[in-house]
Structure 1
Amino acid sequence: MSATTPGTTPYYYVPAHSHHPVMASIGLFMVILGASQWINGHEWGKYSLFVGLVWWLTVLWNWFCEARRESEGGLYSTKIDISYRWSMSWFIFSEVMFFGAFFTALWWARAHSVPALGSLDNAILWPDFKAVWPSIAAGVTAAPAGLVEPFQTVGPFWLPTINTALLLTSGVTLTIAHHALREDHRSKCIQFMWITVILGFIFLCVQGYEYFHLYTELNLKLNSGIYGSTFYMLTGFHGFHVFVGMLMLFFITIRLMKGDFTAARHFGFEGAAWYWHFVDVVWLGLYILVYWM
């Protein structure tokens, strides 16, 4: 399997046959089946969804623990490190395309769809339509028949600006932790990692409060025309990515406390850091294009 001799790191480690992919697929199948049936009114669907989630997360936990044992056991060579770096790079690239599609949807709605609906060609169908952005009341953008309840738009002050400061600060603390690890200052690294995790958690709390405020006081909902759908699509998916990134950093911090990673070999740390910095950059785009423009 792997080209190695006893007591040495293999040139390229090839793990033995594993049941984890099949088990993870079963869990995901239960999640998708349960979600689809629950949406269509079948009560048993929610039980399938929750059981599938627990199943899937348990498989991932065991799978990652096995990968950790392989890494800390010295089975991963430079070739494996390179493959992990390429894998993480392509994963982040796919996330760039993911958010790129959503940003394009926002741009297309503003620059093409709304102006086209307000053109002379559609004046006969919707004579009272006003092709302006953002839509703030029924009959303005996307709802000439009054199907969308009146709502208020969102500005950058103050919650979005506070969250921007939180994420930018977390990027700084994560960079400090990375440099501390490279200099073999483990305690300093752990301290700044905990600060980063806490800042990410506070960001999610602030965003949750913001959503509550928007829904109850501004009446801004997912069905509030193209403005509401693009707003929640972009900020909601970004919030989910912050949650995933916070979990990654949390488990990396736990591993640091257990003695994992060295100053020379710590790509698990770096991969999570890449992801977190990507999340920071996406938020800056959101902050400017969604809240300011």
Structure 2
Amino acid sequence: MTSKHEHYYVPAQSGWPIVGAIGLFLIAIGAGNYVLQLDTDKTSGGYTLIAGLAVILYMIFGWFRTVIGESIANLYSKQMDRSFRQGMSWFIFSEVMFFAAFFGALLYARTIAVPWLGGASNNAMTNEVLWPAFEASWPLLTTPDGTQTQAMGWGGLPLYNTIILLASSVTLHFAHVSLEKSKRTALTLWLGLTILLGLGFLYLQAAEYAHAYEEMGLTLSSGIYGNTFYLLTGFHGMHVTLGTIFLLVLLLRVLKGHFTPDKHFAFQAGSWYWHFVDVVWLCLFVFVYVL
């Protein structure tokens, strides 16, 4: 008897990881300098941040093009498909841990740090020394230097964005079902609508930030409340941006006739990521805006 060994494709060496590392380095340096330069006339941090984002976008589209070309050439085996599924699963798990760290920081500030500073757990003397007359409440709307801000309510734009993201999960599910049933027109329409909803979310979040900065005095300098608010919502907005780019690439592939009912993991991976982003927003909406 002769045994049949499944072909396993080993990709050639790629320069895309180092390109991504350079982009992330520029983003880290640029974002840090941008925050430090908010109250100055310097703009080098902002330009470095934009350059890092441009490099990341270049890496994403370039790497996608490479992987798509390998897939179209039928170089991947079933074992390679399993590797992709495991890789995407671990990536989403790492993203869960990423957001868990920031939600943990928010929980620590609300349930431990702020009450402790207010004299809880027999720390009345610490309260008098560090911040006399401090009242422990959340959100913390007054910083130690007396800066006043306002809390962002859950109604209005945040609520609209919640509805938009929930609707986008539904439209993406319909797109996936259409793909499995070989309904290409319905697939294109539902996927296109999902992308429009994602763009609508980003537009409303930008409007929310403009309102917060210009009319509410809610900025990155607004103490622990402003810090946690912009870290959580900002990083989520970044993930929505990446998810929208992912879906846009999928739409271009759909228009080119890619994917079949039996072979469409790239579409499935994009769907996993988008649904994950939606779940994170629901948690964020409850813990940041409502409670």
Secondary structure in 1 matching 2:69? helix
Structure 1 residues 266 and 231: CA distance shift in structure 2, 3 A: same
Offset of 1:11 from its aligned partner? 2.4
Letter in 2 for 1:18: S
Contact kept in structure 2, 1:148 and 1:225, CA below 8 Å? no
- Structure 2 length normalisation: TM-score? 0.86
Partner of 1:288: 286
**Which one of the candidate residues 255, 264, 272 is aligned to 2:253?**
255
Offset of 1:63 from its aligned partner? 2.7
Partner of 1:110: 110
- Structure 1 length normalisation: TM-score? 0.86
Secondary structure in 2 matching 1:76? coil
Partner of 2:223: 225
Partner of 2:243: 245
Distance 1:36 1:100 in 2: 22
Offset of 1:148 from its aligned partner? 4.2
Letter in 1 for 2:89: S
What stretches of structure 2 of length at least 5 have no aligned partner? none
Offset of 1:169 from its aligned partner? 0.2
Partner of 2:135: 130
Q: Which of the pair has the greater relative contact order for Cα pairs under 8 Å at 6+ separation?
A: 2
What stretches of structure 1 of length at least 5 have no aligned partner? none
Distance 1:56 1:200 in 2: 20
**Which one of the candidate residues 183, 191, 194 is aligned to 2:181?**
183
Partner of 2:71: 71
Offset of 1:123 from its aligned partner? 3.4
Offset from partner CA, 1:71-98 (integer Å, 9 cap, x none): 0111111111111111011000011011
Distance 1:122 1:264 in 2: 64
Partner of 1:151: 149
Structure 1 residues 32 and 110: CA distance shift in structure 2, 3 A: closer
Partner of 1:212: 210
Q: Percent identity?
A: 46
Structure 1 residues 33 and 288: CA distance shift in structure 2, 3 A: closer
Structure 1 residues 177 and 230: CA distance shift in structure 2, 3 A: same
Structure 1 residues 95 and 37: CA distance shift in structure 2, 3 A: closer
Distance 2:189 2:7 in 1: 35
Offset from partner CA, 1:233-287 (integer Å, 9 cap, x none): 1111111111110110011011100011111010110111101000100111111
Structure 1 residues 129 and 199: CA distance shift in structure 2, 3 A: same
Structure 1 residues 18 and 207: CA distance shift in structure 2, 3 A: closer
1:88 maps onto 2:91 in alignment: no
Offset from partner CA, 1:147-182 (integer Å, 9 cap, x none): 142111111111111111000000000000000001
Contact kept in structure 2, 1:148 and 1:223, CA below 8 Å? no
Structure 1 residues 106 and 53: CA distance shift in structure 2, 3 A: closer
Offset of 1:57 from its aligned partner? 3.8
Which range moved further: 126-135 or 250-259? 126-135
Letter in 2 for 1:267: F
Runs ≥4 residues deviating over 3 A: 17-60
Partner of 2:11: 15
